[in-house]
Chains A and B, each alone.
Chain A
Amino acid sequence: MLVEMAGVGFTYMPGTPFEQVALKSIDLSISEGEFIGLIGPTGSGKSTLIQHLNGLLTPTEGKIIFRGQEVGKDIELHSAQKEIGLVFQFPETQLFAETVAKDIAFGPKNLGLPVNEVESRVREAIESVGLDYRLYARRSPFGLSGGEKRLVAIAGVLATKPRLLILDEPLSGLDLWGKTKVMQAISKLNKNGAAVVLVAHDMDEIVEHVGRVIVLNEGRVALDDKPEVVFTQIDYLRRIGLDVPKTVELFIKLKERGFDIAPKSFNLRIVINTVLALAREGQCL
Protein backbone atom coordinates (compact mmCIF):
# COMPACT_ATOMS: atom_id res chain seq x y z
CA MET A 1 0.00 0.00 0.00
CA LEU A 2 1.39 3.38 -0.99
CA VAL A 3 -0.80 5.85 0.88
CA GLU A 4 -3.63 5.29 3.32
CA MET A 5 -6.00 7.76 4.91
CA ALA A 6 -7.47 6.43 8.13
CA GLY A 7 -10.42 8.27 9.66
CA VAL A 8 -9.20 11.56 8.25
CA GLY A 9 -11.26 14.63 9.07
CA PHE A 10 -10.41 18.23 8.36
CA THR A 11 -11.94 21.42 9.64
CA TYR A 12 -10.93 24.89 8.43
CA MET A 13 -10.36 27.37 11.25
CA PRO A 14 -11.69 25.20 14.07
CA GLY A 15 -13.02 27.05 17.09
CA THR A 16 -13.80 30.25 15.18
CA PRO A 17 -17.15 31.47 13.86
CA PHE A 18 -15.72 30.66 10.41
CA GLU A 19 -15.29 26.99 11.22
CA GLN A 20 -16.02 24.84 8.20
CA VAL A 21 -15.88 21.06 8.06
CA ALA A 22 -14.31 20.03 4.76
CA LEU A 23 -13.62 16.33 5.25
CA LYS A 24 -15.34 13.76 7.45
CA SER A 25 -13.92 10.36 8.42
CA ILE A 26 -12.22 9.57 5.12
CA ASP A 27 -10.91 6.02 4.81
CA LEU A 28 -9.17 5.15 1.62
CA SER A 29 -5.99 3.61 0.37
CA ILE A 30 -4.02 3.97 -2.81
CA SER A 31 -1.83 1.14 -4.11
CA GLU A 32 1.28 1.39 -6.26
CA GLY A 33 0.48 1.85 -9.92
CA GLU A 34 -3.24 2.55 -9.55
CA PHE A 35 -5.05 5.01 -11.83
CA ILE A 36 -7.82 6.65 -9.86
CA GLY A 37 -10.40 9.21 -10.91
CA LEU A 38 -11.51 11.51 -8.09
CA ILE A 39 -14.80 13.23 -8.84
CA GLY A 40 -17.32 15.26 -6.91
CA PRO A 41 -19.36 18.43 -7.20
CA THR A 42 -17.75 21.83 -6.56
CA GLY A 43 -17.20 22.23 -2.82
CA SER A 44 -17.27 18.49 -2.09
CA GLY A 45 -13.77 18.56 -0.59
CA LYS A 46 -11.71 17.25 -3.53
CA SER A 47 -9.02 19.89 -3.30
CA THR A 48 -8.83 19.59 0.49
CA LEU A 49 -8.43 15.83 0.12
CA ILE A 50 -5.60 15.97 -2.41
CA GLN A 51 -3.75 18.50 -0.29
CA HIS A 52 -3.79 15.93 2.50
CA LEU A 53 -2.32 13.29 0.24
CA ASN A 54 0.90 15.22 -0.15
CA GLY A 55 0.99 16.85 3.24
CA LEU A 56 0.14 20.44 2.34
CA LEU A 57 -2.65 20.12 4.88
CA THR A 58 -2.43 18.14 8.10
CA PRO A 59 -5.61 16.33 9.14
CA THR A 60 -7.38 17.67 12.21
CA GLU A 61 -8.52 14.08 12.85
CA GLY A 62 -7.20 10.66 11.86
CA LYS A 63 -3.89 9.86 10.21
CA ILE A 64 -2.10 9.54 6.90
CA ILE A 65 0.04 6.45 6.43
CA PHE A 66 2.76 6.37 3.81
CA ARG A 67 4.17 2.93 3.00
CA GLY A 68 2.97 1.59 6.34
CA GLN A 69 4.43 4.44 8.36
CA GLU A 70 2.39 7.18 9.93
CA VAL A 71 3.27 10.59 8.54
CA GLY A 72 4.43 12.99 11.24
CA LYS A 73 5.00 10.16 13.70
CA ASP A 74 7.04 7.33 12.17
CA ILE A 75 8.38 9.36 9.25
CA GLU A 76 8.92 13.04 8.53
CA LEU A 77 6.41 14.81 6.37
CA HIS A 78 8.88 15.85 3.68
CA SER A 79 10.24 12.35 3.15
CA ALA A 80 6.71 11.32 2.13
CA GLN A 81 6.26 14.53 0.14
CA LYS A 82 9.28 13.72 -2.02
CA GLU A 83 7.48 10.82 -3.61
CA ILE A 84 4.11 12.45 -4.06
CA GLY A 85 3.68 15.03 -6.80
CA LEU A 86 0.80 17.48 -6.90
CA VAL A 87 -0.20 19.43 -10.01
CA PHE A 88 -2.63 22.21 -9.13
CA GLN A 89 -5.35 23.56 -11.38
CA PHE A 90 -3.97 25.99 -13.98
CA PRO A 91 -0.38 25.10 -12.98
CA GLU A 92 0.97 27.36 -15.73
CA THR A 93 0.21 30.36 -13.52
CA GLN A 94 3.05 29.19 -11.24
CA LEU A 95 5.86 29.26 -13.80
CA PHE A 96 8.59 31.65 -12.74
CA ALA A 97 12.04 30.92 -14.18
CA GLU A 98 13.63 32.53 -17.23
CA THR A 99 13.90 29.27 -19.14
CA VAL A 100 11.80 26.14 -19.35
CA ALA A 101 14.76 24.02 -18.18
CA LYS A 102 15.36 26.18 -15.10
CA ASP A 103 11.73 26.08 -14.14
CA ILE A 104 11.58 22.31 -14.39
CA ALA A 105 14.85 22.02 -12.44
CA PHE A 106 13.26 23.73 -9.43
CA GLY A 107 11.74 20.55 -7.99
CA PRO A 108 14.78 18.23 -8.41
CA LYS A 109 17.06 20.98 -7.04
CA ASN A 110 14.89 21.29 -3.95
CA LEU A 111 15.39 17.57 -3.45
CA GLY A 112 19.10 18.27 -3.20
CA LEU A 113 20.06 16.14 -6.20
CA PRO A 114 23.52 16.50 -7.81
CA VAL A 115 23.76 18.81 -10.84
CA ASN A 116 24.11 16.13 -13.50
CA GLU A 117 21.17 14.21 -12.05
CA VAL A 118 19.06 17.39 -12.12
CA GLU A 119 20.01 17.94 -15.76
CA SER A 120 19.12 14.45 -16.84
CA ARG A 121 15.81 14.62 -15.00
CA VAL A 122 14.93 17.91 -16.68
CA ARG A 123 15.64 16.40 -20.08
CA GLU A 124 13.63 13.30 -19.24
CA ALA A 125 10.70 15.33 -17.90
CA ILE A 126 10.50 17.61 -20.96
CA GLU A 127 10.50 14.62 -23.23
CA SER A 128 7.99 12.70 -21.14
CA VAL A 129 5.38 15.39 -21.80
CA GLY A 130 6.04 15.07 -25.50
CA LEU A 131 8.07 18.24 -26.06
CA ASP A 132 11.41 18.35 -27.86
CA TYR A 133 14.21 19.13 -25.38
CA ARG A 134 16.36 20.98 -27.93
CA LEU A 135 13.48 23.19 -29.02
CA TYR A 136 12.09 24.04 -25.61
CA ALA A 137 14.78 23.89 -22.91
CA ARG A 138 16.18 27.38 -23.47
CA ARG A 139 12.93 29.13 -24.25
CA SER A 140 11.14 31.42 -21.83
CA PRO A 141 8.09 29.70 -20.37
CA PHE A 142 6.18 32.97 -20.68
CA GLY A 143 6.41 32.95 -24.47
CA LEU A 144 4.78 29.55 -24.90
CA SER A 145 1.20 28.80 -25.90
CA GLY A 146 -1.34 27.89 -23.20
CA GLY A 147 -1.07 24.17 -23.88
CA GLU A 148 2.74 24.22 -23.92
CA LYS A 149 2.85 26.12 -20.63
CA ARG A 150 0.59 23.52 -19.04
CA LEU A 151 2.88 20.73 -20.26
CA VAL A 152 5.98 22.49 -18.91
CA ALA A 153 4.30 22.99 -15.53
CA ILE A 154 3.40 19.30 -15.39
CA ALA A 155 6.97 18.38 -16.41
CA GLY A 156 8.16 20.44 -13.44
CA VAL A 157 6.37 18.03 -11.13
CA LEU A 158 7.29 14.90 -13.11
CA ALA A 159 10.97 15.80 -12.72
CA THR A 160 10.75 14.89 -9.04
CA LYS A 161 9.87 11.34 -10.15
CA PRO A 162 6.82 10.92 -7.95
CA ARG A 163 5.46 7.46 -7.12
CA LEU A 164 2.06 9.07 -6.82
CA LEU A 165 1.02 11.93 -9.07
CA ILE A 166 -2.09 13.90 -8.23
CA LEU A 167 -3.50 16.24 -10.87
CA ASP A 168 -6.28 18.75 -10.22
CA GLU A 169 -8.24 19.38 -13.43
CA PRO A 170 -5.19 19.12 -15.69
CA LEU A 171 -7.31 19.36 -18.85
CA SER A 172 -9.43 22.40 -18.09
CA GLY A 173 -9.24 25.10 -20.73
CA LEU A 174 -7.07 23.06 -23.10
CA ASP A 175 -7.82 22.45 -26.76
CA LEU A 176 -7.68 19.09 -28.54
CA TRP A 177 -3.87 19.20 -28.94
CA GLY A 178 -3.26 20.14 -25.32
CA LYS A 179 -5.69 17.56 -23.95
CA THR A 180 -4.20 14.78 -26.06
CA LYS A 181 -0.64 15.65 -25.03
CA VAL A 182 -1.45 15.92 -21.32
CA MET A 183 -3.39 12.65 -21.26
CA GLN A 184 -0.59 10.90 -23.16
CA ALA A 185 1.96 12.07 -20.61
CA ILE A 186 -0.20 10.95 -17.69
CA SER A 187 -0.91 7.54 -19.20
CA LYS A 188 2.76 7.00 -19.92
CA LEU A 189 3.70 7.83 -16.37
CA ASN A 190 1.11 5.39 -15.09
CA LYS A 191 2.32 2.65 -17.48
CA ASN A 192 5.79 3.14 -16.04
CA GLY A 193 4.44 2.24 -12.63
CA ALA A 194 3.48 5.48 -10.89
CA ALA A 195 0.08 5.75 -9.25
CA VAL A 196 -2.12 8.58 -10.55
CA VAL A 197 -5.04 10.42 -8.98
CA LEU A 198 -6.87 12.43 -11.60
CA VAL A 199 -9.35 15.03 -10.43
CA ALA A 200 -11.53 15.93 -13.39
CA HIS A 201 -14.96 17.14 -14.40
CA ASP A 202 -14.72 15.53 -17.79
CA MET A 203 -16.29 12.14 -17.18
CA ASP A 204 -15.51 10.99 -20.73
CA GLU A 205 -11.80 11.30 -19.96
CA ILE A 206 -12.19 9.61 -16.56
CA VAL A 207 -14.00 6.62 -17.98
CA GLU A 208 -11.43 6.15 -20.74
CA HIS A 209 -8.41 6.03 -18.46
CA VAL A 210 -9.00 5.12 -14.86
CA GLY A 211 -9.39 1.75 -13.14
CA ARG A 212 -11.15 3.10 -10.08
CA VAL A 213 -13.42 6.04 -9.34
CA ILE A 214 -13.81 7.75 -5.98
CA VAL A 215 -16.86 9.99 -5.63
CA LEU A 216 -16.65 12.64 -2.95
CA ASN A 217 -19.74 14.43 -1.71
CA GLU A 218 -20.06 16.82 1.23
CA GLY A 219 -16.68 15.83 2.57
CA ARG A 220 -17.30 12.09 2.56
CA VAL A 221 -16.41 9.23 0.25
CA ALA A 222 -19.79 8.48 -1.32
CA LEU A 223 -18.68 5.80 -3.78
CA ASP A 224 -15.39 4.04 -4.35
CA ASP A 225 -15.40 1.35 -7.00
CA LYS A 226 -14.66 0.41 -10.59
CA PRO A 227 -15.95 2.94 -13.14
CA GLU A 228 -18.49 0.51 -14.53
CA VAL A 229 -20.03 0.18 -11.07
CA VAL A 230 -19.87 3.84 -10.09
CA PHE A 231 -21.30 5.14 -13.36
CA THR A 232 -24.37 2.92 -13.20
CA GLN A 233 -25.45 5.00 -10.17
CA ILE A 234 -26.62 7.54 -12.67
CA ASP A 235 -29.53 8.92 -10.61
CA TYR A 236 -27.33 9.48 -7.57
CA LEU A 237 -24.57 11.11 -9.60
CA ARG A 238 -26.98 13.48 -11.30
CA ARG A 239 -28.64 14.32 -8.01
CA ILE A 240 -25.36 15.52 -6.51
CA GLY A 241 -24.64 17.51 -9.65
CA LEU A 242 -22.28 15.30 -11.63
CA ASP A 243 -22.37 14.35 -15.28
CA VAL A 244 -22.02 10.82 -16.55
CA PRO A 245 -19.89 9.81 -19.54
CA LYS A 246 -21.61 9.98 -22.91
CA THR A 247 -21.06 6.22 -23.32
CA VAL A 248 -23.08 5.65 -20.14
CA GLU A 249 -25.80 7.95 -21.40
CA LEU A 250 -25.93 5.89 -24.58
CA PHE A 251 -26.31 2.68 -22.60
CA ILE A 252 -29.03 4.05 -20.36
CA LYS A 253 -31.00 5.28 -23.35
CA LEU A 254 -30.63 2.00 -25.23
CA LYS A 255 -31.81 0.18 -22.13
CA GLU A 256 -34.84 2.46 -21.85
CA ARG A 257 -35.73 1.30 -25.34
CA GLY A 258 -35.81 -2.26 -24.09
CA PHE A 259 -32.42 -3.58 -25.13
CA ASP A 260 -30.90 -6.11 -22.83
CA ILE A 261 -27.37 -4.92 -22.22
CA ALA A 262 -24.91 -5.26 -19.39
CA PRO A 263 -21.62 -3.61 -20.29
CA LYS A 264 -18.33 -4.87 -18.93
CA SER A 265 -16.97 -1.35 -19.08
CA PHE A 266 -17.90 2.09 -20.34
CA ASN A 267 -14.69 2.46 -22.25
CA LEU A 268 -15.40 3.71 -25.77
CA ARG A 269 -13.91 0.61 -27.44
CA ILE A 270 -15.97 -1.83 -25.34
CA VAL A 271 -19.14 0.18 -25.81
CA ILE A 272 -18.66 0.17 -29.57
CA ASN A 273 -18.14 -3.61 -29.51
CA THR A 274 -21.23 -4.17 -27.37
CA VAL A 275 -23.37 -2.08 -29.70
CA LEU A 276 -21.89 -3.94 -32.67
CA ALA A 277 -22.76 -7.27 -31.03
CA LEU A 278 -26.31 -6.04 -30.51
CA ALA A 279 -26.51 -5.06 -34.12
CA ARG A 280 -25.25 -8.46 -35.25
CA GLU A 281 -27.84 -10.21 -33.09
CA GLY A 282 -30.33 -8.16 -35.00
CA GLN A 283 -31.59 -6.31 -31.93
CA CYS A 284 -30.72 -2.97 -33.39
CA LEU A 285 -31.19 -1.77 -36.94
Chain B
Amino acid sequence: MIEFKNVSYHYGKEKEKTTALKNIGLAVNEGEFVAILGPNGSGKSTLARHMNGLLIPSQGEVLVDGLSTRESGVLWHIHQQVGMVFQNPDNQIIATSVEDDIAFGPENLGLDPKEIRERVDEALEIVGMQSYARHEPHMLSGGQKQRVAVAGALAMRPKYLVVDEATSMLDPRASSSMLESLKRLNKDYGITVVNITHIPDEAVLADRVLILFEGRIVKDGPPQEVFLDLNELREVGVGAPKARQIAEELIASGINLPRSILTIDELVSDLC
Protein backbone atom coordinates (compact mmCIF):
# COMPACT_ATOMS: atom_id res chain seq x y z
CA MET B 1 0.00 0.00 0.00
CA ILE B 2 1.14 3.53 -0.77
CA GLU B 3 -0.15 5.81 1.92
CA PHE B 4 -0.19 9.61 2.06
CA LYS B 5 -0.64 10.92 5.59
CA ASN B 6 -1.66 14.56 5.56
CA VAL B 7 0.97 15.43 2.96
CA SER B 8 1.69 19.03 1.95
CA TYR B 9 4.41 20.17 -0.39
CA HIS B 10 5.74 23.66 -1.02
CA TYR B 11 8.47 24.76 -3.34
CA GLY B 12 10.34 28.01 -3.84
CA LYS B 13 11.87 30.34 -1.26
CA GLU B 14 10.13 31.51 1.91
CA LYS B 15 8.80 34.71 0.37
CA GLU B 16 7.31 33.36 -2.86
CA LYS B 17 6.40 29.96 -1.57
CA THR B 18 4.05 28.01 -3.81
CA THR B 19 2.01 25.21 -2.38
CA ALA B 20 1.68 22.29 -4.77
CA LEU B 21 -0.03 19.80 -2.45
CA LYS B 22 -2.33 20.54 0.47
CA ASN B 23 -3.09 18.01 3.20
CA ILE B 24 -3.32 15.00 0.93
CA GLY B 25 -4.67 11.87 2.59
CA LEU B 26 -4.69 8.89 0.27
CA ALA B 27 -4.19 5.17 0.21
CA VAL B 28 -3.44 3.27 -2.98
CA ASN B 29 -4.12 -0.39 -2.34
CA GLU B 30 -2.31 -3.34 -3.82
CA GLY B 31 -3.75 -4.51 -7.13
CA GLU B 32 -5.65 -1.31 -7.85
CA PHE B 33 -5.67 0.55 -11.16
CA VAL B 34 -5.98 4.21 -10.20
CA ALA B 35 -6.21 7.22 -12.50
CA ILE B 36 -5.33 10.67 -11.23
CA LEU B 37 -7.01 13.32 -13.33
CA GLY B 38 -6.56 17.06 -13.14
CA PRO B 39 -5.68 20.16 -15.17
CA ASN B 40 -2.11 21.42 -15.64
CA GLY B 41 -0.77 22.82 -12.40
CA SER B 42 -3.16 20.84 -10.21
CA GLY B 43 -0.26 19.03 -8.53
CA LYS B 44 -0.59 15.69 -10.33
CA SER B 45 3.07 15.35 -11.18
CA THR B 46 4.13 16.50 -7.72
CA LEU B 47 1.87 13.83 -6.24
CA ALA B 48 3.36 11.19 -8.54
CA ARG B 49 6.90 12.14 -7.52
CA HIS B 50 6.03 11.65 -3.86
CA MET B 51 5.00 8.06 -4.49
CA ASN B 52 8.52 6.81 -5.08
CA GLY B 53 10.44 9.28 -2.99
CA LEU B 54 11.68 11.56 -5.78
CA LEU B 55 10.09 14.32 -3.71
CA ILE B 56 9.85 14.30 0.06
CA PRO B 57 6.80 15.95 1.68
CA SER B 58 7.24 19.35 3.34
CA GLN B 59 4.74 18.19 5.93
CA GLY B 60 3.23 14.80 6.57
CA GLU B 61 4.49 11.46 5.44
CA VAL B 62 4.38 9.05 2.51
CA LEU B 63 4.59 5.37 3.40
CA VAL B 64 5.34 2.66 0.85
CA ASP B 65 4.47 -0.69 2.41
CA GLY B 66 4.96 0.95 5.78
CA LEU B 67 8.37 2.48 4.94
CA SER B 68 8.58 6.26 5.06
CA THR B 69 10.18 8.03 2.11
CA ARG B 70 11.77 10.34 4.68
CA GLU B 71 14.25 7.66 5.70
CA SER B 72 17.05 7.94 3.19
CA GLY B 73 18.26 4.45 4.08
CA VAL B 74 15.21 2.82 2.51
CA LEU B 75 14.91 5.13 -0.44
CA TRP B 76 16.65 2.82 -2.92
CA HIS B 77 14.28 0.05 -1.84
CA ILE B 78 11.32 2.39 -2.50
CA HIS B 79 12.72 3.30 -5.95
CA GLN B 80 12.78 -0.42 -6.70
CA GLN B 81 9.26 -1.07 -5.37
CA VAL B 82 7.67 1.88 -7.17
CA GLY B 83 8.58 2.07 -10.86
CA MET B 84 8.01 5.28 -12.77
CA VAL B 85 7.35 6.15 -16.40
CA PHE B 86 7.52 9.80 -17.39
CA GLN B 87 5.96 12.00 -20.04
CA ASN B 88 8.79 12.65 -22.47
CA PRO B 89 9.93 9.41 -24.10
CA ASP B 90 13.29 10.94 -25.04
CA ASN B 91 14.29 12.15 -21.61
CA GLN B 92 14.14 8.88 -19.70
CA ILE B 93 16.24 6.60 -21.85
CA ILE B 94 19.80 6.69 -20.66
CA ALA B 95 21.78 4.06 -22.53
CA THR B 96 22.71 3.84 -26.18
CA SER B 97 20.96 0.54 -26.79
CA VAL B 98 17.50 -0.70 -25.80
CA GLU B 99 18.66 -3.68 -23.73
CA ASP B 100 21.36 -1.71 -21.95
CA ASP B 101 18.79 0.89 -21.01
CA ILE B 102 16.47 -1.73 -19.55
CA ALA B 103 19.43 -3.14 -17.65
CA PHE B 104 20.13 0.25 -16.06
CA GLY B 105 17.79 -0.20 -13.07
CA PRO B 106 18.81 -3.75 -12.15
CA GLU B 107 22.47 -2.73 -12.53
CA ASN B 108 21.90 0.01 -9.99
CA LEU B 109 20.42 -2.57 -7.64
CA GLY B 110 23.74 -4.40 -7.85
CA LEU B 111 22.27 -7.65 -9.13
CA ASP B 112 24.21 -10.55 -10.55
CA PRO B 113 24.89 -10.22 -14.33
CA LYS B 114 22.98 -13.42 -15.07
CA GLU B 115 19.98 -12.22 -13.09
CA ILE B 116 20.07 -8.86 -14.92
CA ARG B 117 20.11 -10.62 -18.28
CA GLU B 118 17.06 -12.70 -17.29
CA ARG B 119 15.14 -9.67 -16.11
CA VAL B 120 15.97 -7.68 -19.25
CA ASP B 121 14.81 -10.50 -21.52
CA GLU B 122 11.65 -10.93 -19.49
CA ALA B 123 10.86 -7.20 -19.54
CA LEU B 124 11.52 -7.00 -23.29
CA GLU B 125 9.09 -9.84 -23.81
CA ILE B 126 6.34 -8.33 -21.66
CA VAL B 127 6.36 -5.11 -23.70
CA GLY B 128 6.87 -6.97 -26.98
CA MET B 129 10.19 -5.35 -27.91
CA GLN B 130 12.42 -8.47 -28.12
CA SER B 131 13.32 -7.81 -31.74
CA TYR B 132 14.53 -4.31 -30.83
CA ALA B 133 16.90 -5.38 -28.04
CA ARG B 134 20.01 -4.06 -29.77
CA HIS B 135 18.48 -1.04 -31.45
CA GLU B 136 19.58 2.47 -30.69
CA PRO B 137 16.88 4.38 -28.81
CA HIS B 138 16.89 7.44 -31.08
CA MET B 139 15.83 5.28 -34.02
CA LEU B 140 12.61 4.18 -32.28
CA SER B 141 9.19 5.81 -32.54
CA GLY B 142 7.71 7.64 -29.55
CA GLY B 143 5.44 4.70 -28.74
CA GLN B 144 8.34 2.24 -28.85
CA LYS B 145 10.44 4.48 -26.60
CA GLN B 146 7.65 4.52 -24.03
CA ARG B 147 7.49 0.72 -24.15
CA VAL B 148 11.22 0.66 -23.47
CA ALA B 149 10.64 3.00 -20.53
CA VAL B 150 7.96 0.67 -19.14
CA ALA B 151 10.32 -2.29 -19.60
CA GLY B 152 13.04 -0.35 -17.77
CA ALA B 153 10.72 0.02 -14.79
CA LEU B 154 9.53 -3.59 -14.97
CA ALA B 155 13.07 -4.93 -14.90
CA MET B 156 13.27 -3.68 -11.32
CA ARG B 157 10.32 -6.03 -10.57
CA PRO B 158 8.28 -3.28 -8.94
CA LYS B 159 5.06 -3.81 -7.04
CA TYR B 160 3.72 -0.43 -8.12
CA LEU B 161 3.99 1.42 -11.41
CA VAL B 162 3.39 5.18 -11.49
CA VAL B 163 2.85 6.50 -15.00
CA ASP B 164 3.04 10.27 -15.36
CA GLU B 165 1.25 11.50 -18.52
CA ALA B 166 3.06 8.83 -20.49
CA THR B 167 0.66 8.96 -23.44
CA SER B 168 0.48 12.71 -23.89
CA MET B 169 3.20 12.85 -26.54
CA LEU B 170 2.04 9.75 -28.42
CA ASP B 171 -0.31 9.27 -31.36
CA PRO B 172 -3.69 7.62 -30.66
CA ARG B 173 -2.61 4.17 -31.76
CA ALA B 174 0.52 4.21 -29.62
CA SER B 175 -1.34 5.59 -26.63
CA SER B 176 -4.08 2.99 -26.76
CA SER B 177 -1.51 0.23 -27.01
CA MET B 178 0.29 1.77 -24.02
CA LEU B 179 -2.95 1.80 -22.02
CA GLU B 180 -3.66 -1.80 -22.99
CA SER B 181 -0.27 -2.89 -21.69
CA LEU B 182 -0.87 -1.03 -18.43
CA LYS B 183 -4.19 -2.81 -18.09
CA ARG B 184 -2.48 -6.13 -18.78
CA LEU B 185 0.29 -5.48 -16.27
CA ASN B 186 -2.37 -4.80 -13.68
CA LYS B 187 -4.54 -7.83 -14.51
CA ASP B 188 -2.02 -10.50 -15.43
CA TYR B 189 0.97 -9.49 -13.34
CA GLY B 190 -0.83 -7.99 -10.38
CA ILE B 191 1.11 -4.73 -10.58
CA THR B 192 -0.63 -1.78 -8.95
CA VAL B 193 -0.90 0.98 -11.56
CA VAL B 194 -1.29 4.71 -10.93
CA ASN B 195 -1.92 6.55 -14.20
CA ILE B 196 -1.57 10.32 -14.04
CA THR B 197 -3.44 11.93 -16.93
CA HIS B 198 -5.46 14.88 -18.09
CA ILE B 199 -7.49 12.88 -20.59
CA PRO B 200 -10.93 11.86 -19.23
CA ASP B 201 -11.35 9.00 -21.71
CA GLU B 202 -8.14 7.51 -20.30
CA ALA B 203 -9.35 7.76 -16.73
CA VAL B 204 -12.41 5.66 -17.61
CA LEU B 205 -10.16 2.60 -17.93
CA ALA B 206 -9.25 2.73 -14.25
CA ASP B 207 -11.11 1.11 -11.34
CA ARG B 208 -10.76 4.27 -9.34
CA VAL B 209 -10.43 7.91 -10.34
CA LEU B 210 -9.02 10.71 -8.22
CA ILE B 211 -9.51 14.30 -9.26
CA LEU B 212 -6.91 16.78 -8.20
CA PHE B 213 -7.44 20.52 -8.18
CA GLU B 214 -5.13 23.15 -6.74
CA GLY B 215 -3.23 20.57 -4.75
CA ARG B 216 -6.25 18.90 -3.18
CA ILE B 217 -8.12 15.70 -3.92
CA VAL B 218 -11.62 16.89 -4.78
CA LYS B 219 -13.08 13.56 -5.90
CA ASP B 220 -12.23 9.93 -5.32
CA GLY B 221 -14.30 7.01 -6.52
CA PRO B 222 -15.12 4.65 -9.37
CA PRO B 223 -15.34 6.45 -12.76
CA GLN B 224 -19.12 6.01 -12.95
CA GLU B 225 -19.46 8.11 -9.80
CA VAL B 226 -16.72 10.63 -10.46
CA PHE B 227 -18.21 11.72 -13.79
CA LEU B 228 -21.77 12.16 -12.47
CA ASP B 229 -21.76 15.96 -12.22
CA LEU B 230 -20.12 17.48 -15.28
CA ASN B 231 -20.62 21.10 -14.22
CA GLU B 232 -18.74 20.49 -11.04
CA LEU B 233 -15.90 18.91 -13.02
CA ARG B 234 -15.73 21.79 -15.47
CA GLU B 235 -15.20 24.15 -12.56
CA VAL B 236 -12.06 22.25 -11.60
CA GLY B 237 -10.79 22.26 -15.18
CA VAL B 238 -11.64 18.68 -16.04
CA GLY B 239 -13.69 17.59 -19.05
CA ALA B 240 -15.74 14.43 -19.42
CA PRO B 241 -15.38 11.31 -21.55
CA LYS B 242 -16.84 12.01 -24.99
CA ALA B 243 -19.64 9.45 -24.65
CA ARG B 244 -20.57 10.94 -21.29
CA GLN B 245 -20.74 14.40 -22.94
CA ILE B 246 -23.08 13.13 -25.65
CA ALA B 247 -25.24 11.44 -23.01
CA GLU B 248 -25.34 14.69 -21.02
CA GLU B 249 -26.58 16.63 -24.06
CA LEU B 250 -29.28 14.02 -24.65
CA ILE B 251 -30.32 14.13 -21.00
CA ALA B 252 -30.54 17.92 -21.21
CA SER B 253 -32.85 17.53 -24.22
CA GLY B 254 -35.21 15.41 -22.19
CA ILE B 255 -34.12 11.86 -22.92
CA ASN B 256 -34.02 9.59 -19.94
CA LEU B 257 -30.52 8.17 -19.63
CA PRO B 258 -28.37 7.20 -16.65
CA ARG B 259 -25.55 9.60 -15.79
CA SER B 260 -23.14 6.70 -15.36
CA ILE B 261 -22.62 6.22 -19.12
CA LEU B 262 -18.91 6.31 -19.96
CA THR B 263 -18.54 4.58 -23.32
CA ILE B 264 -20.34 4.63 -26.67
CA ASP B 265 -21.32 0.99 -26.17
CA GLU B 266 -23.05 1.80 -22.91
CA LEU B 267 -24.74 4.75 -24.56
CA VAL B 268 -26.03 2.66 -27.46
CA SER B 269 -27.36 -0.11 -25.27
CA ASP B 270 -29.07 2.40 -23.00
CA LEU B 271 -30.57 4.20 -25.98
CA CYS B 272 -32.06 1.12 -27.57
Contacts and interface: CB of A to CB of B under 8 A. Distances in A.
Nearest to B270: A285
Contacts of A74: none
Contact of A204 (B141, B234, B242, B253): B242
Contacts of B243: 246, 250
A172 B256 contact: no
A145 B41 CA distance: 8
Interface residues of A, number: 34
B238 interface: yes
Interface stretch (B114-122, B125-133, B167-175, B184-192): B167-175
Contacts of B172: 201-202, 242-243
B54 interface: no
A44 to B, nearest CB: 11
Given A172-B168, A250-B268, A257-B272, A271 B246 contact: yes
Contacts, number: 80
Q: In this complex, which of A174, A175, A272 has the most chain B Cβ atoms within 10 angstroms of its Cβ?
A: A175
Please tell me the size bucket of the interface on B. 20 to 34
A272 B247 CA distance: 9
Interface in B229-247: 234, 237-239, 242-243, 245-246
A263 to B, nearest CB: 13
B95 interface: no
B268 A276 contact: no
A249 interface: yes
B169 A172 contact: yes
Most buried by B among A178, A204, A249, A257: A249
B198 interface: yes
Contacts of A193: none
A271 B242 CA distance: 13
A41 B141 CA distance: 13
Interface string A168-193: 00001111111000000000000000
B111 interface: no
Contact of B271 (A178, A249, A254): A254
B271 A275 contact: yes
B210 to A, nearest CB: 16
A241 B173 contact: yes
Contact of B171 (A42, A250, A259): A42
A281 to B, nearest CB: 13
Nearest to A176: B239
Contacts of A201: 171-172
B39 A250 contact: no
B253 A276 contact: yes
17 contacts: A42-B171, A173-B87, A173-B168, A175-B237, A176-B238, A201-B171, A201-B172, A246-B243, A246-B246, A250-B243, A253-B265, A253-B268, A268-B246, A272-B246, A276-B250, A284-B272, A285-B255
Interface of A: 41-42, 145-147, 172-178, 201-202, 204, 241-243, 246-247, 249-250, 253-254, 257, 259, 268, 271-272, 275-276, 279, 284-285
5 shortest interchain CB distances as A-B pairs? A246-B242, A175-B39, A253-B268, A175-B198, A173-B168
